[in-house]
Structure 1
Amino acid sequence: MRTIGEAAAELGIESHVLRHWEHVGALTTRRDGNGYRVYDDNALEQARTVLKLRRVGLSLPQITAAMSPKKSAAQTVVREKIAALESEVLRRQQAIAFLQHTVECRHRYLDDCPDCATFVREA
């Protein structure tokens, strides 16, 4: 069993973050006889999962849904996030291609380059 401070330190976050996660329903914790939160191994593992999902970009409502006992609800949220990330990867790859071309472009001004104009029209 760990106190909220011990759990937060182990996770590398502040105690108020754990309280917030509990408040919004992304984390469940037990209380001791004095009403203090206690973190057993299961609660700590759940907090690690929330932390990982936050780091990959899920919002707390998405995390709550992704951790739902109903697998289909969890899969829907995760699939939506995967699609959003794939879309972001594509946008960044296009940005890299455009910037690489501008570095290598033989034209003095980008407006003079038909390839640059094509990149601009595609955006």
Structure 2
Amino acid sequence: MSERFGLASHVLRHWETEGLLSPSRTSSGHRLYSRTDLFRAAAIINAKRAALSLDDIRALLDGGTDGRQARLHHHRDVLARRIVEQQAALDLLDQVLACRHSDPADCPRFRALLAEQVGDGPPPATPATPEEH
């Protein structure tokens, strides 16, 4: 399992301690991961990528519908806000990379992206002309 997912074995043991995985054991005590365990591990990995805590992941995998839905709706809202913020950061970087000004602060398009933070109101609906870029 650790090789399949590129995880350290202590991570899998931790998930087991936390009750997220429960592999069967051989007579000598070695863990045997089932196909269900593989899917649970994949779900945990993807939930961690989405920044869910182990408690949230436990609720996702094992919690009742009410608790699961409430936690996931909350986390979805948080993640959606992060995506918007990250997209704005990406747009800003793309603008600087495309800008011909020696100082991006002199670029009208760059300024438009920052206008709301500066207090100039929302950015204009139409982008600056290519000559201003």
Does TM-score exceed 0.5, indicating one fold?
yes
Root mean square deviation, CA, Å: 3.0
Q: Displacement of 1:15 after TM fit?
A: 0.9
Could you tell me the percent identity over the aligned residues? 29
Q: Which residue of 2 aligns with 1:31?
A: 25
TM-score, normalisation: structure 2: 0.66
Give the length in aligned residue pairs. Answer: 111
In the aligned structure 2, how far is the partner of 1:76 from the partner of 1:65?
Answer: 10
The structure, 1 or 2, with the larger RCO (C-alpha pairs under 8 Å, 6+ apart) is 1
Higher helix share: 1
In the aligned structure 2, how far is the partner of 1:75 from the partner of 1:55?
Answer: 19
Does residue 1:119 correspond to 2:117, yes or no?
yes
- Tell whether the 8 Å contact from 1:102 to 1:116 is kept in structure 2 after alignment: no
Q: Displacement of 1:8 after TM fit?
A: 0.8
Counterpart secondary structure, 1:17: helix
Unpaired runs of at least 5, structure 1:
1-6, 107-112
- Tell whether the 8 Å contact from 1:66 to 1:74 is kept in structure 2 after alignment: yes
TM-score, normalisation: structure 1: 0.70
Unpaired runs of at least 5, structure 2:
96-103, 122-133
